[in-house]
């Protein structure tokens, strides 16, 4: 169990938030690109999950999904190596979610930390809904239907994977062994601030996105906030309060010590320091940007990738559902 084509299965997903930024890339996608060579990977866009908190306005859902898949492919996910699909296209997730909802005690859902946090944070929306409470049940279905060995996720998703394991145990106990318990693989967080020093977020308009053209990226870097105490080029600086330096820490590992020393000694100006950062950033972003241009010139290609991925994912999902129905004696 947990293997396909002789490889261990891995699965992960993201909500369709639209164009990805550098933080999303470094926090997840860059890691996925590495995993696809070693594992049988399923990567999907969790559009039903987006509905649990944003069900009122669905006007941008489709274009957000296409933008995200475009980012996946530009960043180097290869549809020959991994399966890229859209959750709502594989209806079996919904059936398994329904069945899991029968066996999941309400107390498990109420005590889930993300449930409590988001209810608090999203006071402006009515998310006191059945669907929102059941979010982890849907996530358990997304995961278990592919019987993965492991789920690469950020720290915020650990409680959901833990609940998934509990649901798997409960199912296996009630109906017989169908689901292996997946491990979470914590993706090491590399936290980047936004270009203005606040949290990187689309709503603050302070992100660097994977789809920005090189000139836009350069301008964003050159306008980043630095240590306000540095008025003249040879004023000693304080890297710990500088946004540019936070980026050097993540993107310029070999040069970070020297940058820090030069900043403190006042032997490098902020303009030069930003230029150095831009050249490091361009090393990562240029190939992604170029790949994107190529992809967009191939008319209909992104859709084709998604449709093939949907069909491939459905095959595995259908196989698991046949076992589930049989185990539960609802196989007609
Ligand atoms: N809850 C995840 C998030 O908000 C998205 C997600 C849905 C997911 N289903 C999943 C992640 C299954 C990993 C595995 O980012
Ligand atoms: Fe920031 Fe670099 Fe200027 Fe120091 S020299 S304040 S690290 S931009």
pLDDT at position 53: 84
> For residue 129, what are the CA distances in angstroms to 57, 116, 134?
16, 13, 9
Starting from the CA of residue 41, give the closest ligand. 1
Question: pLDDT > 90: what percent of the chain?
Answer: 73
Residues 182 and 256 in one domain: no
User: Residue 53 C-alpha to ligand 1 middle, in angstroms?
Assistant: 13
Q: What is the CATH number of the domain that holds 235?
A: 1.10.240.10
* Residue 201 resides in a domain: no
pLDDT at position 140: 98
Q: Does pLDDT of 124 surpass 90?
A: no
Question: pLDDT > 70: what percent of the chain?
Answer: 99
Residues 257 and 307 in one domain: no
Distant-in-sequence, close-in-space partners of 166: CB < 8 Å, separation ≥ 6: 108
Q: Sorting pLDDT into bands at 50, 70 and 90, what band is 155?
A: confident
pLDDT at position 115: 83
Q: Sorting pLDDT into bands at 50, 70 and 90, what band is 2?
A: low
Q: Sorting pLDDT into bands at 50, 70 and 90, what band is 205?
A: confident
User: Residue 258 C-alpha to ligand 2 middle, in angstroms?
Assistant: 12
SS3 257: helix
Whether the CB of 230 sits within 6 Å of ligand 2: yes
User: Which numbered atom of ligand 1 lies nearest the CA of 160?
Assistant: 1
- Rounded CA-CA distance 265/172 in Å is 63
Whether the CB of 227 sits within 6 Å of ligand 2: yes
Q: Sorting pLDDT into bands at 50, 70 and 90, what band is 105?
A: very high
In the chain, how many domains are there? 2
pTM of the model: 0.90
pLDDT at position 190: 77
Domain holding 274, by residue range, is 212-293
| Arithmetic mean of pLDDT over the chain | 92
User: Residue 244 C-alpha to ligand 2 middle, in angstroms?
Assistant: 6
User: Residue 293 C-alpha to ligand 1 middle, in angstroms?
Assistant: 28
Q: Does pLDDT of 92 surpass 90?
A: yes
Residues 89 and 228 in one domain: no
Query: What is the tens place of the pLDDT at every residue in 280-299?
Result: 999 999 999 999 999 999 98
Whether the CB of 263 sits within 6 Å of ligand 2: yes
Which residue reads 């259908």 in tokens?
318
pLDDT at position 114: 84
User: Residue 228 C-alpha to ligand 2 middle, in angstroms?
Assistant: 10
Residues 180 and 226 in one domain: no
CB 68 within 8 A of CB 14: yes
* Nearest protein Cα to ligand 1, atom 3: 14
Q: What does the chain come to in residues?
A: 332
Whether the CB of 46 sits within 6 Å of ligand 1: yes
Residues 105 and 244 in one domain: no
Q: What is the CATH number of the domain that holds 28?
A: 3.40.50.620
Query: What is the tens place of the pLDDT at every residue in 237-276?
Result: 899 999 999 999 999 989 999 999 999 998 999 999 999 9
Q: Does pLDDT of 166 surpass 90?
A: yes
User: Which numbered atom of ligand 1 lies nearest the CA of 46?
Assistant: 7
* Residue 115 resides in a domain: yes
Query: What is the tens place of the pLDDT at every residue in 27-57?
Result: 899 999 999 999 999 999 999 999 988 888 8
């Amino acid at each position: 169990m947990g293997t396909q084509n002789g490889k261990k299965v891995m699965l992960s997903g993201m909500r369709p938030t639209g164009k990805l930024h550098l933080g999303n890339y470094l926090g997840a996608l860059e890691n996925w690109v590495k995993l696809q060579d070693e594992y049988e990977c399923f990567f999907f866009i969790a559009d039903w999950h987006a509905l649990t908190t944003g069900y009122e306005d669905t006007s941008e859902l489709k274009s957000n999904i296409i933008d995200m898949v475009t980012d996946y492919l530009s960043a180097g996910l290869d549809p020959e190596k991994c399966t890229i699909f859209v959750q709502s296209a594989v209806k079996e997730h919904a059936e398994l979610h329904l069945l899991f909802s029968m066996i999941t005690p309400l107390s498990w859902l109420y005590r889930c930390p993300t449930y409590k946090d988001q209810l608090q944070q999203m006071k402006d929306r009515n998310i006191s809904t059945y669907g929102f409470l059941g979010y982890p049940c849907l996530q358990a279905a997304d995961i278990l239907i592919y019987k993965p060995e492991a789920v690469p996720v950020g720290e915020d998703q650990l409680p959901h994977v833990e609940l998934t394991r509990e649901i798997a145990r409960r199912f296996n106990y009630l109906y017989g062994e169908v689901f292996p318990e997946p491990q979470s693989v914590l993706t090491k967080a590399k936290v980047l601030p936004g270009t203005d020093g606040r949290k990187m977020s689309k709503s603050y308009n302070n992100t660097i996105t994977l789809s920005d053209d090189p000139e836009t990226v350069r301008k964003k870097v050159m306008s980043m906030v630095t240590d306000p105490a540095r008025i003249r080029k040879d004023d000693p600086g304080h890297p710990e309060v500088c946004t540019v330096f936070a980026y050097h820490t993540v993107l310029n590992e070999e040069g970070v010590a020297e940058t820090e020393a030069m900043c403190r000694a006042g032997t490098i100006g902020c303009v030069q320091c930003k230029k150095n950062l831009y050249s490091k950033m361009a090393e990562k972003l240029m190939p992604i940007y170029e790949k994107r241009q190529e992809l967009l010139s191939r008319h209909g290609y992104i859709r084709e990738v998604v449709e093939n991925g949907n069909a491939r994912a459905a095959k595995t999902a259908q196989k698991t559902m046949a076992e589930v129905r049989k185990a539960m004696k609802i196989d007609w």
